[in-house]
Amino acid sequence: MSELNERYDEEGSTLRLEAFSDGVFAIAITLLILEIKVPSAETLNHQTLAHYLVQQWPKYFAYCLSFLIIGIYWANHHYLFKLFRRTDHYFNLINIAFLMSIAFLPYPTDILGEFISEPEHRKFAITFYAFGIWLPAFTWCMIWFYAKNRKRIIDQRLTKSFIDSLSRQYVLSNAFYIIAFIVSLISPLTSMGICVGLTLLYLLPPKKAEYIIHA
């Protein structure tokens, strides 16, 4: 009986989910740099290596921005899962959806780096990128709201005010990403500024968890 209980606790633990998530984060963040190619000799027939490398600035920009975004999600994933006691089947599936959005991010990053400097394609490239970075924010929100409404998942020692503050933060975050997407249809560079600003804002440390103090 004790072995069955131990097995049940192991399957309900978030440890395997966190380990798998770390692997996906590592692969996604590595894929970003693979899109920046070393030039061939033919490519440099009519330009110097220095000129070629300078001309690749859009790809460096896209790489750095997405690297920061994925890195921030990795750090906050570690933070968020400290607030959870266990997992369940549907929680696992929602986390898989979140990881799918993270693994997808290198693609819109490559599109952005390739076409942000091309006036005829810039608008759609930024719109597509804004959509790509909204997906992790949306699925992140799904993780949080499912967990907070499942008493067996979230740590019941957390204060209501702390839980409510995170809920507001994640909803507001989604609102800003949706705004960035809508603005990209009108003013792509303004939208890009919103995306960069949000990323820099999320470099700040998350709010410290607040627990109920029993007398």
Structural domain includes residue 210:
no
Q: Per the structure, how many domains does the chain have?
A: 1
* 207 domain residue, yes or no: no
Range of the domain at 70: 10-201
Judged against a pLDDT cut of 60, whether residue 10 lies above it is answered with no
2 part of a folded domain: no
**What residues contact 194, with CB distance under 8 A and at least 6 apart?**
176, 179, 180, 183
Position 64 scores a pLDDT of: 96
* pLDDT per residue as tens digits for the range 25-65: 999 999 999 888 888 888 888 888 998 899 999 999 999 99
Residue 18 is encoded by which pair of tokens? 């966190």
Domain presence at residue 211: no
- Would residue 139 count as lying in a domain? yes
Question: Does residue 213 sit within a domain?
Answer: no
User: Over 70: is that where the pLDDT of 8 sits?
Assistant: no
Tell me, what's the pLDDT at 7? 43
Q: What percent of the chain has pLDDT over 70?
A: 93
Higher pLDDT, 34 or 67: 67
Name the one residue in this structure whose structure tokens are 């700040």. Answer: 204
Residue 11: per-residue pLDDT: 54
Instruction: Give me the pLDDT at residue 79, please.
Output: 96
Mean pLDDT of 100-116: 96
Nearest to 16 by CA among 114, 119, 96: 96
Range 82-101 average pLDDT = 96
